[in-house]
């Protein structure tokens, strides 16, 4: 531990970390990046694809044109929103596996509001209301898992997984039941919303700036909360030592619920962005696995608000870029899945490595 000169740095995740800690931070990041690339290269070689060409196509497929960049940003927005929410739950030591379900609930609440808005004279009002409604939907769904955890002592991983299934069930029921398109119930989802109930598109880039603004606000707000708010401090304290936190006069359970509410809220908003800004309807795969991917993003970012957007961007680039990889290189399309699986392993290895390094020395 190195003391930062005469005035000790702000006691915050970032500033109070000594130089060596930050160096280690970047080392961990660099190492996992190298691991990801190494693994991917190995898999590509094994599959008989020329790696350099593959990377070229990955890059071209993600950032090669305005259109593609738009697609990357479109995927980055919900991923970042979900990841930001997860920062709160991870901070207090909760494994919020239920992000998928929370996102779905947000999408459902948003759809409900937007359906009311069809043929209304003030569609903008309904569009605006869809966002808080979605946050509420996602938040309530997350609180469900939180209450099961704090009151029923059900581990949040099981509660979250269970609620994911239930949310998926409700989603399918609505799409094939009450909200089905007149005459046809199909996997393609509900009736498409009229243009005035959609988030506007930036011509050329094909993505909605409103979503981008929301994601950036979420990031900044969270950074501020963790650095300056008592709430952020208590989350960190309760995550590290709930009993001591109680003795300091704060109820950890209450903060667990609040953290879940926020995480669910952000996931819900992500769901709303998907409904109103991307698909313009409710579809069965509305959550697109962003919930699970967000867990990875956050862990790979080492729970750091400032690293999350970068890692999320990296992931979306690889994701979007790998869509046309099988076609271009004539390899099996399941390869993208294999590559992502490898990332998971690398991520976990990097985390384990990092944990071992930063574990504080035992004190006497």
- Compute the radius of gyration of the chain from its Cα atoms: 21
Residue 169's φ and ψ, nearest 5 degrees, are -60, -50
Q: Which of 250, 268, 275, 343 binds other proteins (CB under 8 A)?
A: 250
Contact set for Mg ion, span 29-58 (CB under 5 A):
none
Q: Does 3 bind ligand ATP (CB under 6 A)?
A: no
C-beta of 153 vs 361, nearer to ligand ATP: 361
d(CA 323, CA 61): 8
Q: 101, exposed or middle or buried, with CB in 10 Å at 0-12, 13-18, 19+?
A: buried
Q: Does 184 bind ligand ATP (CB under 6 A)?
A: no
Nearer to Mg ion, 1 or 184 (CB): 1
Residue among 163, 166, 189 at smallest CA distance from 176: 189
330 binds ligand ATP, rule: CB under 6 A? no
The three-state (H, E, C) secondary structure of 185-198, written as one string:
CCCCCCCCCCHHHC
**Minimum distance, C-beta of residue 344 to other proteins, in the bound complex (Å):** 26
Alpha-helical (H) ranges within 92-184 are 99-117, 123-150, 156-176
| In the complex, least distance from residue 345 CB atom to ligand ATP, rounded to whole angstroms | 32
Place of tokens 């294999």: 338
Query: Looking at beta carbons only, is 221 or 338 nearer to other proteins?
Result: 221
Residue 2 binding ligand ATP, by CB under 6 A: no
Residue for token digits 């494994």? 95
Under 8 Å between Cβ of 346 and 35: yes
Distance, in Å, from the CA atom of 1 to the CA atom of 218, rounded to the nearest integer, reads 32
As a whole number of angstroms, the distance between CA 140 and CA 135 comes to 8
User: Would you say 330 or 356 has its CB closer to other proteins?
Assistant: 356
Q: Which of 241, 285, 333, 334 binds other proteins (CB under 8 A)?
A: 241
Q: Which does 244 bind (CB under 5 to 8 A by kind): ligand ATP, other proteins, Mg ion, none?
A: other proteins
By CB under 6 A, tell whether 153 contacts ligand ATP.
no
Determine the interface stretch with other proteins among 68-76, 245-253, 277-285, 313-321 (rule: CB under 8 A).
Answer: 245-253
**C-alpha to C-alpha distances, 72 to 29, 102, 198, 220, nearest whole angstrom:** 21, 23, 19, 21
Asked if 1 interacts with other proteins (CB under 8 A), we say yes
CA distance 265 to 251: 21
> Across the chain, which distance is largest between two alpha carbons, in Å?
74
Burial of 49 (0-12, 13-18, 19+ CB in 10 A): buried
Q: Quick one: which of 184, 249, 330, 356 contacts other proteins (CB under 8 A)?
A: 249
Between 330 and 362, whose beta carbon lies closer to other proteins? Answer: 362
169 binds other proteins (CB under 8 A): no
- Near ligand ATP in 343-362, by CB under 6 A: 361
- For the bound state, the minimum distance from the C-beta of residue 363 to Mg ion, rounded and expressed in Å, comes to 8
| Nearer CB in complex with Mg ion: 19/364 | 364
Which 345-364 residues touch Mg ion, going by CB under 5 A?
A: 364
Report what 291 binds from other proteins, ligand ATP, Mg ion, none; CB cut-off 5-8 Å by kind: none
Q: Which of 273, 251, 159 is nearest to 207 (CA)?
A: 273
d(CA 221, CA 294): 18
Closest by CA to 273, choosing from 180, 186, 223, 209, is 209
- Nearest residue to the partner Mg ion, using Cβ: 364
In the complex, minimum distance from the CB of residue 35 to other proteins, in angstroms, rounded to a whole number: 24
Q: List residues binding Mg ion (CB under 5 A).
A: 364
Q: List residues binding other proteins (CB under 8 A).
A: 1-4, 8-11, 16, 18, 228-234, 236-237, 240-241, 243-251, 360-364
Q: List residues binding ligand ATP (CB under 6 A).
A: 1, 361, 364
């Amino acid at each position: 531990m190195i003391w930062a000169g005469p005035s000790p740095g702000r006691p915050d995740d970032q500033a109070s970390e000594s130089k060596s800690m930050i160096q280690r931070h970047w080392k961990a990041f660099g190492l996992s990046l190298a691991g990801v690339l190494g693994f991917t290269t190995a898999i590509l070689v094994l599959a008989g694809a020329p790696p350099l060409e593959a990377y070229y196509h990955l890059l071209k497929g993600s950032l090669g044109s305005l259109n593609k960049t738009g697609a990357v940003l479109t995927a980055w927005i919900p991923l970042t929103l979900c990841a930001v929410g997860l920062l709160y739950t991870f901070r207090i030591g909760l494994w919020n596996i239920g992000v998928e379900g929370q996102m779905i609930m947000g999408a459902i609440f948003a759809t409900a509001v937007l359906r009311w808005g069809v043929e209304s004279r003030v569609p903008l009002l309904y569009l605006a209301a869809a966002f808080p409604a979605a946050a509420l939907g996602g938040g309530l769904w997350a609180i469900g898992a939180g209450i099961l955890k704090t009151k029923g002592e059900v581990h949040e991983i099981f509660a979250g997984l269970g609620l994911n299934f239930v949310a998926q069930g409700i989603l399918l029921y609505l799409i094939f039941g009450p909200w089905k398109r007149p005459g046809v119930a199909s996997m393609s989802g509900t009736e498409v919303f009229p243009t005035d109930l959609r988030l506007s598109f930036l011509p050329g880039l094909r993505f909605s700036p409103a979503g981008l603004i929301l994601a950036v606000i979420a990031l900044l707000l969270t950074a501020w909360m963790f650095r300056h708010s008592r709430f952020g401090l208590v989350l960190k304290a309760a995550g590290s030592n709930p009993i001591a936190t109680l003795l300091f006069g704060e109820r950890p359970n209450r903060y667990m619920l609040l953290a879940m509410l926020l995480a669910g809220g952000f996931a819900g908003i992500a769901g709303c962005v998907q409904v109103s800004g991307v698909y313009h309807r409710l579809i069965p795969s509305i959550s697109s696995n962003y919930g699970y991917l967000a867990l990875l993003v956050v862990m790979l970012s080492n729970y750091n608000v400032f690293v999350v957007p970068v890692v999320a961007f990296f992931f979306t680039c690889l994701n979007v870029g790998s869509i046309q990889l099988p076609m271009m290189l004539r390899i099996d399309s399941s390869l993208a899945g294999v590559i992502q699986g490898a990332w998971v392993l690398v991520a976990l290895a990097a985390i384990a490595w990092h944990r071992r390094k930063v574990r504080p020395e035992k004190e006497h």
